Amino acid sequence: ETGVTQTPRHLVMGMTNKKSLKCEQHLGHNAMYWYKQSAKKPLELMFVYSLEERVENNSVPSRFSPECPNSSHLFLHLHTLQPEDSALYLCASSQDLLAAIYNEQFFGPGTRLTVL
Amino acid sequence: LAKTTQPISMDSYEGQEVNITCSHNNIATNDYITWYQQFPSQGPRFIIQGYKTKVTNEVASLFIPADRKSSTLSLPRVSLSDTAVYYCLVVSGGATNKLIFGTGTLLAVQP
């Protein structure tokens, strides 16, 4: 596969469940990102990883736990979520962390999460 | 990071040229103007990026006046499949590659 893939594409979970979202990039990029997109709201940056090291955590609740075992994979572990956490979770990657001209981010298709 | 302002929505018809304008009054010297496109239930996709004057690629053109306080994304001869949300962002060159998305412009193309 090419580009950025995310699994699962859809997930329904109860508030007491534990689940994980997976992201994989086949682009040889060094930086990976998690975003959250709630209905009628702009995309919100959650976490930033560069060379497997977390470099940014935008005040995200601890019920969201990211993991980056290598530069190609990024996980978002979920536990005791709330219904307001229902959203589209998007993963993205870029060649490097530092912005430069044409250093675009490549997004995956997202995981549509519903918390009951 | 420079804040951007763009219309919430626009309507167009197939075959027309669409121009979406974005304001970024506080843009800094090393900032680049970047546009992304997002279809429903998909991740955003990079369209075009520029610093000044005009940039053109196979998808769109980007016009940036000399003062760089605004920019215009031009989509030639739109089709129904161009219906999407278009985001204007300002990216700081040499800084952390952090994208701050606004609400974007929902372009609805009618037949």
Q: Which residue has the higher pLDDT, B9 or A54?
A: B9
Task: Report residue A101's pLDDT band, with 50, 70 and 90 as the boundaries.
Answer: low
B97:A110 CB<8 A:
no
A91 contacts in chain B (CB < 8 Å): 43
pLDDT in the model for residue A18: 94
Closest chain A residue by Cα to residue B50: A101
pLDDT in the model for residue A78: 96
**Quick one: how far is CA B16 from the chain centroid?**
17
**Rounded average pLDDT over A58-73:** 93
- CB interface of B with A, residues 1-30, below 8 Å: none
Q: Is A92 on the interface with B (CB under 8 A)?
A: yes
pLDDT in the model for residue B103: 87
A74 contacts in chain B (CB < 8 Å): none
Strand-pairing partners, residue B44, are none
**A4 exposure class (CB count in 10 Å sphere: 0-12, 13-18, 19+):** buried
φ, ψ of residue B81 in degrees (nearest 5)? -75, -5
**A113 exposure class (CB count in 10 Å sphere: 0-12, 13-18, 19+):** buried
B92:A99 CB<8 A:
yes
Percent of chain A, pLDDT > 70? 95
For the segment B61-83, what is each residue's pLDDT rounded down to a tens digit?
Answer: 999 999 999 999 999 999 999 99
Comparing A12-21, A31-40, A52-61, the range with the smallest average pLDDT is A52-61
pLDDT in the model for residue B1: 56
Cα A94 to Cα A107: distance, rounded to the nearest angstrom: 9
φ, ψ of residue A90 in degrees (nearest 5)? -110, 140
Beta strands in chain A (DSSP E): 4-7, 10-13, 18-25, 31-37, 44-50, 53-57, 64-70, 73-79, 87-94, 106-107, 111-115
φ, ψ of residue A84 in degrees (nearest 5)? -70, -5
For the segment A32-57, what is each residue's pLDDT rounded down to a tens digit?
Answer: 999 999 987 888 999 999 888 888 77
Cα B77 to Cα B109: distance, rounded to the nearest angstrom: 11
